[in-house]
Amino acid sequence: MNRFYFGGSDSSGSDVDDDTLPYPKPLTRSAFLTSDFDPTTFLSSLHNRHQTLEDLRSELQTRSQELNKELLDLVNENYQDFLSLGSSLRGGDQIVEEVRVGLLGFRRDVESLKGKVEGRKTEVALLVEERKRIREEVQTARVLLEIAQTLEELEERLMVVSNGLTGGQSADEDRYGSSDSEEETEEEGVGHTMSTSRLRRHVHQFLYIKRLMTRPPSDHPFLVKQEERMIRLRRTLLLDLSSALTQVVPVDDLDKKRLLNTVSIYRDMGEGDEALKVLKTLKDRE
């Protein structure tokens, strides 16, 4: 192994004995086995070796010769295995071709299944949309049925038929003399047409029908057909409220509560202006 090289120094004038200086350490094999090995980086890391470039080149050549010798020894040791490997590869082309054909067939099967899956996916999506539509239609039908039943019930209570009022004082007398008069006796007096509690129930049922009618599409043929019935019910309720308000004016101590309850029913119905009109008309009559 070469010793340190001191460039530009005069050996005759140096008192240092070269034999006392350490030799550079041999290059390790692990330094060349890193996954990110780079020759330039490796050479730049040797600047502290105090070794001439010629010595470094000689050491790298020696390392290369050693590796070639090891490779040759490895081949010689396993020569029979190499020969048997060549023999075992005979006929491999046929096997590779069979594998290739099998893979092509498998690919076709996969493509076919993929197409079937995509078709089934589309079919399922359509069925889900149809199921959603049917469910919405069922819900709409239930709401429409409830609207029809509630409308019919309110019309029966108010003695209103689909083609208009039944008309006549006798119908009013029947409507005002319903079966639940006992619970409302304390709110009724002589000459009163209908108790405020019964009026409030009718108005709340009317408002409930209006809320139900906002759930289906507004242009549904059934809802369009019921507009006329809703107009008749509104007029009938306003007529009953007007009659009830007329009975409690002029106000005495007994009628104060009825007056406030009747006006609050107007407010619940959203017809506060109608209450003001009735009160103004009654005031003008005085």
pTM: 0.50
The one-letter code for the residue type at 19 is D
pLDDT at 22: 60
pLDDT at 39: 80
- Structure confidence by residue, pLDDT tens digits, 269-285: 888 888 888 878 877 76
| pLDDT beyond 60 at 264 | yes
Distance CA 1, CA 15 (A): 22
Averaged confidence pLDDT in the chain: 77
Q: How far from 48 is each of 18, 45, 51, 63, 206, CA to CA, in Å?
A: 18, 8, 8, 20, 101
Distance CA 10, CA 276 (A): 127
Residue 160 dihedral angles phi and psi, to the nearest 5°: -120, 135
Contact 229, 151 (CB under 8 A): yes
Cα–Cα nearest to 244, from 282, 204, 273:
282
Q: What average pLDDT does the segment 113-120 reach?
A: 91
Say how many Å lie between the first and final Cα of the chain, rounded: 137
Distance CA 145, CA 151 (A): 10
User: Buried b vs exposed e over 124-154: b needs ≥16 C-beta within 10 Å?
Assistant: eeeeeeeeeeeeeeeeeeebbeebeeebeeb
**For the residues of 24-64, what is the DSSP string, one character each?**
PPPPPGGGG--TT--HHHHHHTTTTS---HHHHHHHHHHHH
